[in-house]
Amino acid sequence: MSALNALLVGYCFLAVYPFLVMIFGSLKSQGEFSTNPGGFPAHPTTGAYDYIGSGFRGSLLWRSLLNSFIVAIPYTLLTVVLAAMAGYAFAKYSFRGKNVIFALLIASMLIPLEVNIPTLYVLFSHIGWLNTYQVQIFPGLGSGIGVLCMFMARQYMRGLPDEVLEAASVDGAGHWRRFWRIAMPMSLPILGAVAVFAFVFKWSDYLWPLVMVTNTTYQPIMVTLPELGTAPNGFIILYEVLLAGCVIVTVPALLLFGRFQNVLMRGTIAGAVRG
Is the pLDDT score of 23 beyond 70? Answer: yes
Give burial (CB, 10 Å; 0-12/13-18/19+) of 201. Answer: buried
pTM over 0.75? The answer is yes
CATH architecture under which domain 67-274 falls: Orthogonal Bundle (1.10)
Look at residue 161 in the predicted model and tell me its pLDDT: 87
Look at residue 235 in the predicted model and tell me its pLDDT: 67
Q: Specify the higher pLDDT residue, 271 or 259.
A: 259
Instruction: Tell me the average pLDDT across 114-124.
Output: 91
Is the pLDDT score of 123 beyond 60? Answer: yes
Instruction: Tell me the average pLDDT across 183-188.
Output: 88
Q: What is the CA radius of gyration of the chain?
A: 23
Closest CA relative to residue 228, chosen from 48, 84, 13: 48
pLDDT band at 263 (very low <50, low <70, confident <90, very high): low
Is the pLDDT score of 213 beyond 90? Answer: yes
Q: What percent of the chain has pLDDT over 70?
A: 92
CA–CA separation, 221 vs 72, rounded Å? 11
pLDDT band at 232 (very low <50, low <70, confident <90, very high): low
Is the pLDDT score of 248 beyond 80? Answer: yes
Which residue intervals of 38-92 are DSSP H helices?
A: 47-52, 55-92
Instruction: Tell me the average pLDDT across 129-145.
Output: 91
Is the pLDDT score of 273 beyond 50? Answer: no
Look at residue 79 in the predicted model and tell me its pLDDT: 95
Instruction: Tell me the average pLDDT across 122-140.
Output: 93
Work out the mean pLDDT of the chain and round it to a whole number.
86
Instruction: Tell me the average pLDDT across 91-106.
Output: 91
CA–CA separation, 261 vs 65, rounded Å? 23
**Each residue of 53-78: pLDDT tens digit?**
877 778 888 899 999 999 999 999 99
